[in-house]
Amino acid sequence: MTEARPSHPELTEAARAFRASLPGPFPEHIAIIMDGNGRWAEARGWMRVRGHKEGTGSVREITTAAAELGVKSLTLYAFSRENWKRPDFEVTTLMRLLRLYLRRERRTLMDNGIRLSAIGRLEDLPGFAQRALEDTRRLTENNGGMVLRLALSYGGRTEIADAARGLGRDIAAGKVNPDDVNEETLRSYLYDPETPDPDLVIRTAGEMRLSNFLLWQASYAELFVTDVCWPEFKRSELHQAIRAFADRKRKFGGLPASSPGTDTVSDSGVAGLRALPSPHAS
């Protein structure tokens, strides 16, 4: 096992050139709904689980490519709470693939200074997957580069319900005054309140929905949907999504900064609100 723990890996020449070529801002946090593994395999007459196996290769390539470009956080929807309803064989295969990935990719994570974390009802995972997750999390915890967050046994509504329960307990215990509860209070009870909201949510395999992914955090994310299935989503597809993001005008419910009159509303306080929703507001 390598000992290298780069804190802020240098951008390669190619990464710098790519970023410089973008027409607008770069997404600091990218979240991906990795869909279409089953369809990709079935279209080739293979078992669905073969699609998941091939999808693991895309996880490796996209994680490395994102880290090389200087993405700060990458969140991958690896297993939803709804996925438990799939046949036992498919669920077991996915859990084994997760363990295999976590063991085999430790060197890649270390070499790229990536810190692994996870969100979701992690206690639902089989013991062997929880142990592999915890071992890799501990091994990478001092890395200072990109954070790779795996959403596992994750559901956006469950996350909000879990947050409400935690908040309710603290209100009942007298630690929080209900009159003081605002958006930031509730956010602080989410699974990973420190990570800023995703700027860009990518979905592969063409469906135009969020499927219970980061419902709170994705409120102002830009969506990019591609027909490409996850096993074929590689570096060039990631670049295409980032380029599309850089071309968008983000308004967060206000007006683009360049619009006429946007600097004449300071007496209403609206200008102050405009900066509020995201630390990455452009």
Active site residues per annotation:
35, 83
38 near ligand FPP, rule: CB under 6 A = yes
Q: Which residue among 62, 65, 125, 150 contacts ligand FPP (CB under 6 A)? A: 150
State the virtual CA torsion across 98, 195, 199, 135 in degrees, nearest 10.
Answer: -20
Per CB under 6 A, 27 contacts ligand FPP: no
Distances 159 to 69, 154, 156, 174 between C-alpha atoms, Å: 30, 8, 5, 23
Q: Name 51's Cβ contacts closer than 8 Å, sequence gap at least 6.
A: 36, 37, 38, 39, 40, 41, 42, 229, 230, 231
Check binding of 230 to ligand FPP (CB under 6 A).
Answer: yes
Helix (H, G, I), strand (E, B) or coil at 208: coil
Q: Exactly one of 59, 114, 151, 190 binds ligand FPP (CB under 6 A); which one?
A: 59
Question: Per-residue x/- marks for ligand FPP, 69-108, CB under 6 A?
Answer: -------x-xx---x----------x--xx--x-------
- Which of 18, 27, 32, 35 touches ligand FPP (CB under 6 A)? 35
Among 18, 28, 37, 117, the residue binding ligand FPP under the rule CB under 6 A is 37
Q: What letter does residue 76 receive in the DSSP assignment?
A: E
Q: Judged by CB under 6 A, how many residues of this single chain contact ligand FPP?
A: 22
Token pair for 238: 């990631």
The neighbouring-strand residues paired with 84 are none
Q: Which of 149, 78, 139, 143 is nearest to 115 (CA)?
A: 143
- Between 32 and 69, CB nearer to ligand FPP: 32
Place of tokens 């027909």: 227
Nearer to ligand FPP, 62 or 221 (CB): 62
Using CB under 6 A, list all residues that contact ligand FPP: 34-39, 48, 52, 55-56, 59, 76, 78-79, 83, 94, 97-98, 101, 150, 205, 230
